[in-house]
């Protein structure tokens, strides 16, 4: 046994981590799941369900407080989900070699990409295609040191404005109906996935790569959790303030730049996903992750924590379930764009509460280790 432990420590020293202390800590917690990430994933699912229910049941262009809330949520839930997917990439079995990890990620990525195309037919805002493409590429990034990972994330994010200058972002969109022309053609599908879809690989892959870097942090240390919270709150506040000030000043003195261009560059909306948007959603993701890590450390056995952990561990199942069942039911009943944002938010919260109860039953009472889709993912791609 001692020889095995020593070999695992040597393998961890060979992997790129932030420091030697983190490597030792990773060995000590190798057999334990970091439940704070599961809690954060549950919160991301909650926000995503609220957003989707409000979109499906409310008007196409909501106004009032509901519209403001959706603007606030827009992209942030998905961003947290994507960052946590990057954390999961790093937390893959440490006993695997980089070649083995690369093979697993490629298979999982291909599987998620295939499911994503099916999901796309139901819900235009699918994120699984993003996961699929990025995971296949992430297999080649796992061996990079931390600074190189951050540089890769920044490069991907800054590539988007360059593409935006060269290619018309609005060319395939009908913004009155949010319909994308040529989506199911080869060229349209590639362009939609990589550049101008709801969650394009460029720049969203930068968030997953950032998550890979976060996964190397030793989250068992209180200083790390406080640092994530500090940077998360600070980055969100600074970016939102900068966006507001820059927008007011530039609109007052536009020069030869159109208002639409100024808003696209300065506003924090998810479409187009400019760097200012990426910065603010990264801040939100760091804040959610930090608070989830803190809460799970402080109250690991509380009923609510246990329920959220179970829900977060079944995130893929519930993501697909709430779209497949929820969206199809709304269409069948003819409720799309018929209700109100408030009704959509209330239904979303109730729906999530039901999912927490079902997750607790599935994981704690029925003793299933994985959710249905998590089991399929592991067994199809192992």
Report how far apart the first and last C-alpha atoms of the chain are (Å, whole number): 26
- In angstroms, rounded to a whole number, what is the distance separating the alpha carbons of residues 370 and 368? 6
- Which pLDDT belongs to residue 86? 94
Higher pLDDT, 9 or 265: 265
Question: Which of the residue ranges 17-26, 147-156, 325-334 has the most confident prediction, judged by mean pLDDT?
Answer: 147-156
Q: Identify whether the C-beta of residue 86 lies closer than 8 Å to the C-beta of residue 138.
A: yes
pLDDT band at 63 (very low <50, low <70, confident <90, very high): low
Taking residues 338-351, report their average pLDDT.
78
SS3 330: helix
pLDDT above 70 for 59 = no
- Per the omega criterion (within 30 degrees of 0), is the bond before 92 cis? no
Q: In this predicted structure, what is the pLDDT of residue 313?
A: 94
What does pTM read for this prediction?
Answer: 0.86
| pLDDT-derived band at 15, boundaries 50, 70, 90 | very low
Average pLDDT over residues 82-91: 92
Of the listed ranges 130-139, 302-311, 316-325, the least confidently predicted one is 316-325
∠ CA(288), CA(291), CA(296), 5° rounding? 120
pLDDT by residue (tens digit) across 25-56? Answer: 333 344 457 999 999 999 999 998 888 877 76
Give pairs for 294-299: CB < 8 Å, separation 24+: 294/36, 294/225, 294/229, 295/36, 295/39, 296/35, 296/36, 296/38, 296/39, 297/36, 297/222, 297/225
Q: How confident is the model at residue 91 (pLDDT cuts 50, 70, 90)?
A: confident
Per residue in 221-258, pLDDT tens?
A: 999 999 999 999 999 999 999 999 999 999 999 889 99
When pLDDT is cut at 50, 70 and 90, the band that residue 18 belongs to is very low
- pLDDT value of position 123: 81
């Amino acid at each position: 046994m001692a020889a095995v432990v020593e070999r695992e420590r040597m393998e961890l020293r060979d992997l790129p981590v932030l420091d030697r202390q983190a490597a030792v800590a990773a060995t000590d917690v190798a057999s334990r799941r970091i439940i704070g990430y599961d809690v954060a994933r549950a919160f991301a699912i909650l926000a995503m369900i609220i957003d989707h229910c409000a979109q499906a049941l409310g008007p196409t262009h909501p106004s009032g407080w509901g519209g403001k809330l959706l603007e606030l949520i827009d992209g942030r839930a998905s961003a947290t989900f994507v960052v946590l997917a990057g954390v999961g990439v790093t937390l893959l079995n440490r006993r695997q070699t980089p070649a083995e990890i690369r093979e697993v990620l490629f298979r999982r990525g291909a599987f998620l990409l295939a499911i994503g195309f099916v999901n796309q037919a139901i819900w235009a805002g699918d994120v699984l295609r993003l996961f699929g493409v990025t995971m296949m590429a992430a297999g080649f990034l796992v061996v990079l040191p931390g600074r190189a990972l951050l540089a890769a994330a920044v490069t991907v994010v800054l590539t988007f404005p360059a593409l935006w200058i060269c290619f018309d972002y609005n060319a395939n969109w009908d913004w009155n109906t949010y319909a994308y022309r040529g989506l199911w053609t080869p060229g349209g599908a590639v362009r939609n996935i990589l550049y101008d879809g709801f969650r394009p690989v460029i720049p969203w892959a930068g968030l997953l790569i950032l998550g890979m870097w976060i996964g190397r942090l030793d989250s068992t240390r209180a200083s790390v959790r406080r640092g994530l919270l500090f940077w998360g709150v600070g980055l969100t506040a600074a970016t939102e303030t900068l966006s507001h000030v820059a927008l007011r000043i530039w609109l007052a003195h536009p020069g030869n730049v159109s208002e639409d261009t100024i808003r696209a560059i300065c506003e924090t909306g998810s479409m187009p996903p400019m760097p200012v948007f990426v910065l603010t959603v990264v801040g939100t993701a760091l804040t959610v992750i930090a608070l989830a890590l803190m809460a799970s450390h402080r109250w690991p056995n509380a009923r609510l924590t246990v329920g959220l952990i179970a829900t977060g561990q079944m995130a893929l199942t519930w993501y697909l379930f709430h779209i497949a069942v929820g969206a199809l039911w709304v269409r069948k009943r003819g409720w799309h764009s018929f209700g109100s944002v408030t009704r959509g938010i209330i239904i979303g919260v109730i729906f999530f509460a039901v999912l927490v109860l079902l997750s607790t039953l599935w994981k704690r009472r029925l003793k299933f280790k994985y959710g249905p889709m998590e089991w399929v993912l592991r067994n199809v791609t192992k």
